[in-house]
Structure 1
Amino acid sequence: MSAHRRKTRAPKSRAASSRRRRLTRTLPASGCALVVLAGATAWYLYDDLASSIGSSKALKGAEKSKYGDVNILLMGLDSRRDQNGEDLPPAVLDKLHAGASSDVGGYNTNTLILLHVPGDGSRAKAFSVPRDDFVDLHGVPGFTGKAKIKEAYGRAKAKTEEQLSAQGVKDRGRLELEGREAGRRAEIETVRTFLGLPIDHFAELNLAGFYHLADALGGVPVCLKKPAKDGFSGADFPAGRQTLDGQQSLAFVRQRHGLTMGDLDRTKRQQAFLAGATYKLNQAGTFTDPVKLMKLIGSAKQDVVTDRGWDLLSFVKQAKNLSGGDVEFVTLPIERFGRNHDAEINVVDDMKIKRFIAERIGPGATASPSAPGTAPSSPGAPSDAPGAPSAPQGSPGSSVPAPSPPRSSSGTPAIDGGGVPCVD
């Protein structure tokens, strides 16, 4: 009986052992398959993004940064048209609270932010350029002199399309494509010359981009020090930390009426939105969630144009590290408010701007001294209105407040942004 039992057990033992060996072989094989599948999925997502996102040759032949530094220019267009020059759908415009006419806003770059990412891994800095800074425009056909920095794109686009039309070009697609490329080159060259910095990459975002980005992220957290309401932009927010949907996000970044510093406070709103978006990117696990990543990529396809050849996959990885909030947002200083004919402008000192930036990122990261436009502004260029008000001290040139809880003048805890900066 005992021998019989041993004989009957032996085959079972060998069978179990064989199953374990097969399982042992299967698990690594399954793991490898999952890794390959995940890698293939990631590559598909990247390849899909790289092949579908709008790309531009506007930076071809441009000077590059040294020592591993990277400078990225974010340009936000206040246009009611899509990448192809077609009017945005009325339903979208209604949600954006931006007016029904495609001509409203034109092709002004109402958002200009230069992100400097040091090659040594130190803290990144984002410099906001106020849209009404009165500077020398570069790259605009037939134009010499000064205008608001936001106008370089639209002026170059319009003039290029005018020249092409005079040559007999009637194809709307070609006019739009070449006009926008001329606009990008002019805006980039104007900003590069004004700041004295090389620009390695750029991303252009249309008006709907803020809306779609917030929607893709499932809302963007922001914090207000006090309630805000504005009928022009549609802003209607309580004080404190809150999560904005797409429609609310656009109202938040567009509001300037009812704010003490007007456009300069709007610039801080844009900084706060980007800080909240990067915070949400990190907290929401977007980079590791295929569904969320696909939604983000879909948003990028609709609204974003970048320079051709930019390795977006590498930057996405870098952006994840930046999402921890280790980015300092700074608004460039202005000298005073003035007027040029009937337009309000920001009077700026070109050389002071360059020194301001060099002090924060180091002179080695600035453009070569031989670069055009490094000379100071010619005196008396802006037609300042007599008695034009000076910019309040401490408003421009300041950073978005740190996300740590501040304290009010009475010593009681002020509003806590919960990881995002609180702004006016």
Structure 2
Amino acid sequence: MQSRGGYHRTAFHVLTRTAWVSLCAAVLAASGIAWATVSTISTGVERSYAISDDAPRSTSGTNILIMGLTTRLDLHGEPLPDDVLRRMQAGESDRGGYNANTLMLLHIPASGPAVAMSVPRDDLVPLASGGEGKIKEAYGRAKVAEEDRLREAGAHDRRELERAGREAGRRAQVETVSAFLNQPIDHLVEISLIGFFHIAEGLGGVDVCLKNATKDPLSGADFPAGPQHLDAGQALSFVRQRHGLPHGDLDRTRRQQAFLSAVAKRVKGADLAVVQALVDMAKQDVVLDARFDLTEFARELPAEVRFDTLPIEGGATIGGHDVNKVDRDKVRAKVTELATAPPPPPPNDGIPCVD
């Protein structure tokens, strides 16, 4: 399949031994963390009711939607401290909005390896709120609409508007992705930009590898070619960069996957102090659905988790904005294929180099 810029989609395969393949996953239930610790996280993390009790459930395993938000605000809509914003190198608190720039469907089968499927953020799809838009926009549009509705009804408490707006956003994002992929969503995990930063900070940085040297003032990226260790601020620049890369956003998607692989490797050998730091992070940066039982999940997750990226058909410009054209039937067929036959493991356990 051909994407914008002539890029032929190739699977980016990562095989890790960890109990999560998302940022939160690697933090919350990584290999070696005691069940008591997982239970402690379960009682302290923010919960969402965006997935109703009577929502359709997967019959071929478990589907978890992982959402990474662009907002520079905390879980309550409050600005981050100035010193944190400076270290993040991601601009001011009012930047970013509430787009779900990272979307992954983690499918855990009854047996065999799990697979995490990245959904390109600019895919043009029907949105749960009506009309078409980029798939990443479902969250933010629904959040704004709900807050406007509540204000018109007389609500004025800012935190309550933020809470209700985010719940509407989560619900819309789940419904949009579920309809597009034709897959039930059993659970959701949400993490914002500060969560990416805190994970890397708690781990003392992460190891990555780049095929070529790259520099991008918009994200703060300035890296040489080859293997290297990134501190928290650099790691955030690494996962945010899309300008100056051969295939733009699609290369950024593979960087997110490479970051997760690096996090998984670091968590696997982390000591108790590091684990506790990550637990504290999870309680301030992560949202899980109300039915998500982390203890049960950590016991049942397969040892092998692999990554792939769902296909696009090319690019288009609508209203001055670049979007990904997609063939819904081909995307759904790819999801089914990956759920039944995940990509093979890489040839070795080294750090894969990315653009």
TM class, shorter-length: 0.7 to 0.9
C-alpha displacement of 1:327? 2.5
The 5 Å alignment of 1:11-410 reads: 42=34, 45-60=37-52, 61-67=54-60, 69-100=61-92, 102-120=93-111, 122-138=112-128, 140=129, 144-282=130-268, 284=269, 286=270, 289-318=271-300, 322=303, 326-362=304-340, 403-404=346-347
AA of the residue aligned to 2:313: E
Q: Given the two structures, how large is their TM-score scaled by the length of structure 2?
A: 0.86
Going from structure 1 to structure 2, the CA distance change for 1:315 and 1:280 (only over 3 Å counts) comes to farther
C-alpha displacement of 1:42? 4.8
Aligned to 1:423, what secondary structure does the other structure show? coil
Tell me if the contact between 1:133 and 1:149 (Cα under 8 Å) persists in the aligned partners.
Answer: yes
**What are the Cα deviations for residues 52-91 of structure 1, in whole angstroms up to 9, with x where unaligned?**
2111001123211124x11111100000100000011111
Q: How many residues align?
A: 322
AA of the residue aligned to 1:123: P
C-alpha displacement of 1:348? 0.6
Q: Given the two structures, how large is their TM-score scaled by the length of structure 1?
A: 0.72
Partners of 2:296 and 2:351 in 1: how far apart? 25
Tell me if the contact between 1:126 and 1:328 (Cα under 8 Å) persists in the aligned partners.
Answer: yes
Could you say which structure has the greater relative contact order, defined with CA pairs below 8 angstroms and 6 or more residues apart? 2
AA of the residue aligned to 2:123: D
C-alpha displacement of 1:111? 0.4
Aligned to 1:250, what secondary structure does the other structure show? helix
Q: CA RMSD in A?
A: 2.1
Partners of 1:272 and 1:158 in 2: how far apart? 32
**What are the Cα deviations for residues 135-187 of structure 1, in whole angstroms up to 9, with x where unaligned?**
0001x2xxx21000010000000000000000000111111111000000000
Going from structure 1 to structure 2, the CA distance change for 1:305 and 1:221 (only over 3 Å counts) comes to same
Could you tell me which runs of 5 or more consecutive residues in structure 1 were left unpaired when the two chains were aligned: 1-40, 364-397, 406-417
**What are the Cα deviations for residues 251-302 of structure 1, in whole angstroms up to 9, with x where unaligned?**
00000010011011101100111111112222x1x3xx43222111011112
Tell me if the contact between 1:136 and 1:147 (Cα under 8 Å) persists in the aligned partners.
Answer: yes
C-alpha displacement of 1:353? 0.7
**What are the Cα deviations for residues 293-332 of structure 1, in whole angstroms up to 9, with x where unaligned?**
211101111211010121112333456x54xxx3321111
Partners of 2:143 and 2:66 in 1: how far apart? 18
Partners of 2:285 and 2:43 in 1: how far apart? 14
Could you tell me which runs of 5 or more consecutive residues in structure 2 were left unpaired when the two chains were aligned: 1-32
Aligned to 2:50, what secondary structure does the other structure show? coil
Which range moved further: 306-315 or 84-93?
306-315
The higher radius of gyration belongs to 1
Partner residue in 1 for 2:352:
421
Tell me if the contact between 1:403 and 1:420 (Cα under 8 Å) persists in the aligned partners.
Answer: no
Partners of 1:129 and 1:279 in 2: how far apart? 23
Partners of 1:349 and 1:303 in 2: how far apart? 34
Aligned to 1:422, what secondary structure does the other structure show? coil
